[in-house]
Amino acid sequence: MYNSWQLIWNITVTSTEEYPHFRPASARRGFVHRNISVLPRQTCGLYTHTQFFHSYPDGFTKLLSNIEGGDLFFTIVINPVRIIIGFSIFMTHQQNYANDRLGIFSFERVINFIKCWTNLRLRWVEPARMASAYFARYAAEKVPVWSNPCDDPRHAKILPQPFNCSEMPLPNMLVVGPQKTGSTALATFLNLHPNFSSNDPVPSSFEELQFFGGPNYARGLHWYMDQFRSKIDHLIVFEKSATYFDNPDAPRTSFALLPKAKIVVGY
């Protein structure tokens, strides 16, 4: 999809409300993938089916309360990524700009309300400049953090049909430790046991995956799972990488993908 966006439409910026998860909204973050900036989007109470004032769910009063002191107002005012300079990214649908034009009505109204009741100075910038400014301030978010899509019901619903959550080829144990502490010997002995197995060897990195916090992380979740596809029948599937021990990104990225994995530390 990212390749098609670039090749066909030359897209450089988009947004999502699903990364890393839909809830809590305050924890949404951005990332950059295949040179496309993905900004964290917030919801505004407008959907494809909200096209007319008279048929807005719970009535026109509900729409006004959302704008004037309600969810839309507070989403902008107490935006979690608003520190001195804030970023509020919203998306409305084409239908919201036709019919009763709820998209135009809602944002003109909330902007006027914010100007009236707060000291915030609102500015609009085009998406490309917004992305550049966002990732200049939050450079640490550029690299996406892979998580298990099966752990989030909203993500699981949009997975491709062949994707089987009951047979996720992911390890349930990590062997970490600095080099020359016997982790290779330990992995060799564990592999002799019929209930244990490890990843397929990677010749370019001394048979280790060196995925979390390493250059292979950019290859993505599918590459990582492919290294274990022949091992899912074993009781304990593990990987051993000495680079995890002192890598500052390894704890965060490994926990995001393998929150229940056991960790064996050699020293």
Question: pLDDT tens, 240-261?
Answer: 998 999 999 999 999 999 999 9
Q: What domains does the chain contain, in order, with CATH numbers? A: 2-141 (no CATH), 150-265 (3.40.50.300)
**pLDDT band, very low/low/confident/very high, at 151 (cuts 50, 70, 90):** very high
Task: State residue 109's pLDDT score.
Answer: 97
- DSSP class per residue in 216-243: GGGG-HHHHHHTTTT-TTSSEEEEE-GG
C-alpha to C-alpha distance for 161 and 109, rounded to whole angstroms: 43
**pLDDT band, very low/low/confident/very high, at 7 (cuts 50, 70, 90):** very high
The tokens 């915030």 sit on which residue?
Answer: 120
The tokens 């989403």 sit on which residue?
Answer: 75
pLDDT, tens digit (0-9, with 9 covering 90-100), for 156-212? 998 887 788 888 889 999 999 888 888 889 989 998 998 999 988 887 767 789 999
Average pLDDT over every residue of 7-30: 94
What's the whole-number average pLDDT of the chain? 90
SS3 category, 198:
strand
Task: State residue 83's pLDDT score.
Answer: 54
Active-site entry in 115, 142, 180, 260: 180
pLDDT more than 90, % of the chain: 70
pLDDT, tens digit (0-9, with 9 covering 90-100), for 60-81? 999 999 999 999 999 998 875 5
The yes-or-no verdict on residue 53 having pLDDT over 90 is yes
pLDDT more than 70, % of the chain: 97
The yes-or-no verdict on residue 14 having pLDDT over 60 is yes
E-strand spans in the chain?
13-16, 31-33, 36-40, 173-176, 196-198, 236-240, 262-265
Give me 151's structure tokens: 């752990």
Active site residue 240: no
Is residue 240 within 8 Å of residue 178, measured between CB atoms? no
Average pLDDT over every residue of 39-46: 94
Torsion of CA 42, 44, 50, 56, to 10 degrees: 140
Q: What are the residues whose beta carbons fall under 8 Å from the beta carbon of 68, sequence distance 6 or more?
A: 109, 110, 113
pTM score above 0.95: no
Is residue 236 within 8 Å of residue 186, measured between CB atoms? no
The yes-or-no verdict on residue 84 having pLDDT over 80 is no
Task: State residue 80's pLDDT score.
Answer: 55
C-alpha to C-alpha distance for 256 and 39, rounded to whole angstroms: 19
40-53 as b/e, with b when 16 or more CB fall inside 10 Å? bbbebbbeeebbee
The yes-or-no verdict on residue 229 having pLDDT over 80 is no
Length of the chain: 267
